[in-house]
Amino acid sequence: MSILAGLALVLAGCNYGSMIVSSYDGITGKSSTTVYSKYYDNGVWLLKDKLGIVVVVDHEKKQIPIAHGMVQSIGALGPGDSVASGKVSVVLWNFDSVPHQVKFKRLLTRGGELDFQNQVITAVPHEQIETEVGVIPIFNYGKSVQMTLELEVAGKPRRIELELPRRTLQQLKQYFSPGSVRPYPWGGRSVKG
């Protein structure tokens, strides 16, 4: 199952990797709660109106629910609790009638580097292709992931700075329900033309 299809399935409930943030406004006396999913994503054009890319990070934190809750309740969480793994996938959206090859060089984050070893992915006409490319360390309580993606498109090197916001459950419903408009530059367009 693709990550983007998985985003649509996570529309209800919480899971490991999700995060709940509560806040209180002392002036208005109102409190609010935001539930973040385990997905971070963002998309940009590689070739304007022809080829887009989406980078998705799936937040993975291995926990034993009861044991973690007990450790948390006595305030004994250690430094390792702040680190999680992010499974990285790239999705190429080809809106064009010709194939496009993308050579992936590397992905840089504050936590390290992911070397793609010049992996070439071909985006076939009017299709969307998803490839899992590796795992990066991420901050367990982060609301976004900053990264630099180095690749080559149409024989030209590209360096793309991306901030992937951690989607709230509300945003997942808004952007990934059937018939919705994606939060990428191509919006509601379909690769099928």
pLDDT for the residue numbered 150: 98
CB neighbour list of residue 6: distance below 8 Å, 6 or more residues apart: 39, 58
3-state secondary structure of 149: strand
CB 175 within 8 A of CB 155: no
**What whole-number distance in Å separates Cα of residue 71 and Cα of residue 185?**
43
> Residue ranges per domain, the chain?
3-176
**What whole-number distance in Å separates Cα of residue 87 and Cα of residue 118?**
19
DSSP single-letter state for residue 82: G
pLDDT for the residue numbered 15: 45
pLDDT for the residue numbered 17: 66
pLDDT for the residue numbered 45: 98
**What whole-number distance in Å separates Cα of residue 69 and Cα of residue 66?**
5
pLDDT in tens, the chain (193 residues): 555 544 444 433 344 567 888 888 889 888 889 999 999 999 999 999 999 999 999 998 764 444 444 444 444 444 556 789 999 999 999 999 999 999 999 999 988 899 999 999 999 999 999 999 999 999 999 999 999 999 999 999 999 999 999 999 999 999 999 989 999 999 999 999 7
Nearest in space to 134 (alpha carbons), one of 37, 42, 56, 44:
56
pTM of the model: 0.81
pLDDT for the residue numbered 61: 75
